[in-house]
């Protein structure tokens, strides 16, 4: 009888220890499940943020390509305008030189004509005085 009581007491203690271990294991399992759920939720938010950042990066990359193309075309246009301006300045200088040369020729011609007119007037006056 004592032996049976001791055995029962021993089994009861073992059972109690086992129940405590099972309870501890269940508590740890619940904590692990909660931690895993929190990590899953955090991972989900992180992946969502990463996808938004990737979309933003793609959009910014496209914008940068567009800006680079616009800058290159603006520089090309600026170079074309500068070349056209230099050509027009050169043409303007050539035209001014040509016009100045033409003006000088016309002034010389005018001076010659004025002197011929003056000479003709003198000859006419001289002719009239001789009559």
% of the chain with per-residue pLDDT over 90: 86
**Which pLDDT belongs to residue 4?**
87
pTM score, two decimals? Answer: 0.48
Candidates 111, 108, 107; CA nearest to 119 is 111
Q: 69-120 pLDDT, tens per residue?
A: 999 999 999 999 999 999 999 999 999 999 999 999 999 999 999 999 999 9
Residues 42-66 as b/e (b if ≥16 CB within 10 A, e otherwise) read eeeeeeeeeeeeeeeeeeeeeeeee
The whole-chain average pLDDT of the chain stands at: 95
**Mean pLDDT of the region 1-21:** 90
36 pLDDT higher than 80: yes
- Count of H helices and E strands in the chain? 1, 0
């Amino acid at each position: 009888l004592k032996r049976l009581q001791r055995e029962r007491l021993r089994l009861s203690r073992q059972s109690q220890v086992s129940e405590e271990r099972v309870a501890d294991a269940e508590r740890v399992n619940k904590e692990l499940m909660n931690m895993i759920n929190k990590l899953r939720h955090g991972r989900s938010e992180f992946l969502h943020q990463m996808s938004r950042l990737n979309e933003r990066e793609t959009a910014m990359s496209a914008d940068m390509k567009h800006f680079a193309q616009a800058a290159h075309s603006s520089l090309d246009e600026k170079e074309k305008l500068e070349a056209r301006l230099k050509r027009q300045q050169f043409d303007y200088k050539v035209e001014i030189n040509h016009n100045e040369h033409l003006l000088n020729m016309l002034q010389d011609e005018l001076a010659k004509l004025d002197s011929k007119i003056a000479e003709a007037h003198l000859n006419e006056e001289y002719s009239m005085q001789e009559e």
